[in-house]
């Protein structure tokens, strides 16, 4: 059964509607930031389900397009995925694999192996994650490096080009990375699958790591538009 992910944004959105209790069970993963925000806002958790108050869980393996996302109640568990022409075949493979893992996908293109520019699609992936319209993002090009550079220009994005499971785990546990970039021409299919699975299933460690991620955010703010520093 697919895991349901409860994020800080879910807590904030619920509080706006007056909700003060969340149902959690063994298939619910509460992120560290969600726990912190719940404590701050005095939101509780219960294992007793109120069917009338709980939204139905998303259907796994559901796929969205950019044209339909604005009219969809996407919530968490949605992965936005994109690629350039070099990563197109890998992107199509990953969409199927993500469905098998129980995730929904939003494909922002490209839609063929015709030559295109990776910054366009990397920006689309990162922007959707930054706006909170998808839980996490995955972008595929030849090496993963080029797209990570683009994604990291977007405020709120921490993109990482992963090349093995250790890096994938560390980027999530230590850095709270929210966009994964992959190299279709530098990694094999099974390695890519293993990286994606580890990256999606590893949770931010919080604690001393949160302090360091907060410092990353501080640097971002110093150089944001309008800053005098």
Q: What positions carry a catalytic annotation?
A: 174
Closest to 115 measured CA to CA, from 136, 141, 148, 95: 141
Closest to 175 measured CA to CA, from 163, 158, 162: 158
The alpha carbons of the chain give a radius of gyration, in whole angstroms, of 18
For 139, list phi and psi in degrees, rounded to 5.
-130, 135
For 27, list phi and psi in degrees, rounded to 5.
-100, 10
- CA–centroid distance for 153 within its chain: 16
CA dist 94 and 196 (Å) reads: 9
Task: Please give the angle made by the CA atoms of 206, 149 and 93, to the nearest 5 degrees.
Answer: 85
CA dist 207 and 76 (Å) reads: 23
């Amino acid at each position: 059964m697919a895991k349901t992910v409860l994020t800080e944004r879910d807590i904030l959105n619920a509080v706006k509607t007056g909700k003060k209790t969340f149902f959690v069970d063994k298939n619910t993963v509460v992120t560290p930031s969600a726990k912190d925000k719940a404590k701050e806002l005095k939101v509780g958790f219960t294992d007793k389900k109120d069917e009338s108050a709980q939204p139905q869980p998303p259907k796994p393996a559901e796929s969205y397009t950019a044209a339909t996302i604005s009219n969809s109640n996407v919530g968490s568990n949605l992965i936005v995925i994109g690629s350039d022409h070099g990563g197109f075949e890998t992107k199509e493979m990953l969409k199927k694999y993500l469905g098998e893992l129980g995730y929904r996908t939003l494909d922002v293109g490209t839609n063929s192996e015709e030559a295109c520019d990776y910054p366009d699609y990397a920006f689309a992936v990162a922007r959707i994650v930054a706006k909170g319209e998808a839980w996490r993002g995955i972008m595929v090009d030849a090496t993963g490096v080029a797209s990570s550079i683009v994604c990291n220009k977007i405020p709120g994005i921490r993109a990482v080009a992963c090349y093995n499971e250790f890096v994938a785990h560390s980027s999530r546990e230590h850095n709270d990375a929210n966009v994964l970039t992959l190299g279709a021409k530098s990694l094999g299919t099974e390695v890519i699958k293993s990286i994606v699975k580890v990256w999606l299933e590893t949770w931010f460690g919080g604690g001393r790591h949160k302090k360091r991620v907060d410092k990353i955010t501080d640097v971002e703010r110093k150089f944001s538009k309008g800053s005098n520093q």
